[in-house]
């Protein structure tokens, strides 16, 4: 088992590439690597509108990271970027379940085709690189038992989940056949500073936070009885770094997870914390009801046993840090990011 201290020291003097690194989780990971010191950090991000990529996410560390604004699916670009890199944290991709149902071909390009382009680049130009791929708990679909562990059957209920599962299989196949040192993490609901809060198509937590800070109404589908688990972004970054530093993790799939809470309780916590906003139960919109999975939370026992990871940020503390961040930096997250660009075949930042 790799301790956190050993894990962080493993990156010193090494080079790291983060795909989707201007997005929510990627930028927080970049900041942690810069904090470690003596780490060469490179970022590739297509800055696709509405996906969460934002240059402000790295504004105060921009002189200490290299940034390439480009599509991960562009083989000419990625072939050059992967050479000589020690670690790749592969966070790029579309994460909107609802959008994947509306634009399935687009989701296919971002979450499958671009992933194969990266893996082929690694196979051909850097076969010894360590790759940590972020997948989603959504691959399990509607749980048949709780908490969901890695032995649970996989049956995604939307296009995004199917494509994420395919990308997992690509990484595992390249590990088995070509020896690429890949590990997959199935993330649950991640929240924290630098998260997209402009719309509600990439998860509910950021949108709940925005509604409360605006003094608006948090609409709870089905009265918010659904129970979900959540991870503060710093805990997720720690899991990524532990997985990257551990040789025994290679070829494995690990759940992240936490203590389940109802959406109504989460909304109540935010209203109490901010002293703003209100809560209103509303009927499920049909397009969301079709892909809703009800109660869903994961067991993180496997990664706890193998790597020593467990979430340690209490929900109240994580929400307080997050709200405080947006209070200070509201102007950079409430409106569309002027730095985003439209590219029809772009690999979106993966949050």
Stronger pLDDT, 6 or 289, i.e. the higher one: 6
Helix (H, G, I), strand (E, B) or coil at 92: coil
Mean pLDDT of 213-241: 94
> What is d(CA 280, CA 282) in angstroms, rounded to the nearest whole number?
6
| Per-residue pLDDT at 160 exceeds 80 | yes
> What is d(CA 22, CA 26) in angstroms, rounded to the nearest whole number?
6
Q: Give the contacts of 140 (CB within 8 A, at least 6 positions apart).
A: 148, 152, 153, 154, 155, 156, 296
Percentage, residues of the chain above pLDDT 70? 93
pLDDT attached to residue 69: 97
pLDDT attached to residue 337: 55
| Per-residue pLDDT at 347 exceeds 50 | no
- 341, 322, 344, 318: which is closest to 55 by C-alpha? 341
> What is d(CA 117, CA 144) in angstroms, rounded to the nearest whole number?
35
Q: Give pLDDT tens digits for 231-262.
A: 999 999 999 999 999 999 999 999 999 999 99
Query: SS3 sequence, 176-235?
Result: HHHCCEEEEEEECEEECCCCCCCCCCCCCHHHHHHHHHCCCEEEEEHHHCCEECEEEHHH
> What is d(CA 274, CA 228) in angstroms, rounded to the nearest whole number?
22
Q: Give pLDDT tens digits for 298-336.
A: 999 999 999 999 999 999 999 999 999 999 999 999 986
Q: Give the contacts of 154 (CB within 8 A, at least 6 positions apart).
A: 139, 140, 141, 165
Stronger pLDDT, 290 or 209, i.e. the higher one: 209
Helix (H, G, I), strand (E, B) or coil at 243: helix
Please name every residue paired with 218 in a beta bridge, in sequence order, or none if there are none.
279
- pTM over 0.85? The answer is yes
Mean pLDDT of 166-188: 98
As a whole number of Å, the end-to-end CA separation of the chain is 27
- Asked if residue 112 belongs to a domain, the reply is yes
- Asked if residue 83 belongs to a domain, the reply is yes
Query: What is the number of domains present in the chain?
Result: 1
- Asked if residue 274 belongs to a domain, the reply is no
> What is d(CA 38, CA 81) in angstroms, rounded to the nearest whole number?
19
- Asked if residue 209 belongs to a domain, the reply is no
- Asked if residue 332 belongs to a domain, the reply is no
Mean pLDDT of 73-93: 97
pLDDT attached to residue 339: 53
Please name every residue paired with 182 in a beta bridge, in sequence order, or none if there are none.
131
Mean pLDDT of 190-206: 90
| Per-residue pLDDT at 345 exceeds 80 | no
Based on its alpha-carbon atoms, the radius of gyration of the chain, rounded to whole angstroms, reads 19
Helix (H, G, I), strand (E, B) or coil at 47: coil
pLDDT attached to residue 346: 35
Model confidence at 200, pLDDT cuts 50, 70, 90, reads confident
> What is d(CA 272, CA 244) in angstroms, rounded to the nearest whole number?
38
Helix (H, G, I), strand (E, B) or coil at 350: coil
| Per-residue pLDDT at 1 exceeds 70 | no
- Asked if residue 150 belongs to a domain, the reply is yes
Q: Which domain holds residue 19?
A: 4-195+231-259+297-311
Model confidence at 33, pLDDT cuts 50, 70, 90, reads very high
CB of 25 closer than 8 Å to CB of 195? no
Q: Give pLDDT tens digits for 260-269.
A: 999 999 999 9
- Asked if residue 38 belongs to a domain, the reply is yes
Q: Give pLDDT tens digits for 9-22.
A: 999 999 999 999 99
Q: Is 321 exposed, middle or buried (0-12, 13-18, 19+ CB in 10 A)?
A: middle
CATH of the domain at 182: 3.40.50.720
- Asked if residue 139 belongs to a domain, the reply is yes
């Amino acid at each position: 088992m790799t301790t956190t201290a050993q894990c962080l020291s493993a990156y010193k003097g090494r080079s790291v590439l983060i795909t989707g690194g201007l997005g929510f989780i990627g930028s927080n990971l970049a900041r942690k690597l810069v904090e470690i010191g003596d780490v060469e950090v490179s970022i590739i991000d297509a800055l696709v509108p509405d996906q969460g990529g934002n240059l402000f996410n790295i504004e105060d560390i921009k002189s200490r990271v290299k940034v390439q604004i480009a599509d991960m699916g562009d083989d000419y670009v990625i072939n050059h970027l992967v050479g000589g890199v020690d670690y790749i944290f592969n966070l790029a991709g579309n994460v909107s379940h609802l959008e994947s149902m509306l634009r399935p071909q687009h989701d296919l390009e971002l979450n499958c085709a671009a992933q194969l382009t990266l893996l082929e680049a690694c196979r051909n130009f850097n076969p010894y690189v360590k790759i940590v791929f972020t997948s989603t708990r959504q691959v399990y679909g509607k749980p048949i038992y709780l908490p969901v562990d890695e032995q649970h059957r996989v049956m995604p209920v939307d296009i995004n989940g199917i494509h994420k599962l395919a990308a997992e299989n690509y990484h595992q196949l390249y590990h088995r056949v070509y020896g690429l040192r890949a590990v997959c993490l199935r993330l649950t609901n991640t929240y924290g500073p630098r998260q997209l809060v402009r719309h509600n198509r990439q998860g509910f937590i950021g949108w709940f936070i925005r509604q409360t800070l605006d003094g608006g109404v948090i609409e709870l589908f089905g009265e918010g009885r659904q129970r979900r688990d959540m991870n503060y972004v710093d805990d997720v970054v720690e899991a990524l770094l532990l997985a990257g530093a551990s040789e025994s993790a290679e070829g494995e799939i690990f759940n992240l997870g936490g203590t389940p809470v109802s959406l109504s309780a989460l909304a109540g916590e935010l209203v109490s914390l901010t002293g703003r906003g209100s809560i209103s139960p509303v009927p499920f919109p049909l397009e969301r009801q079709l892909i809703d999975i009800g109660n869903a939370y994961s067991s993180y026992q496997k990664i706890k046993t193998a790597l020593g990871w467990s979430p340690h940020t209490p929900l109240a503390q994580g929400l307080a840090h997050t709200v405080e961040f947006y209070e200070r930096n509201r102007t950079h997250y409430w409106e569309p990011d002027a730095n985003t660009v439209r590219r029809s075949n772009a690999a979106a930042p993966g949050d």
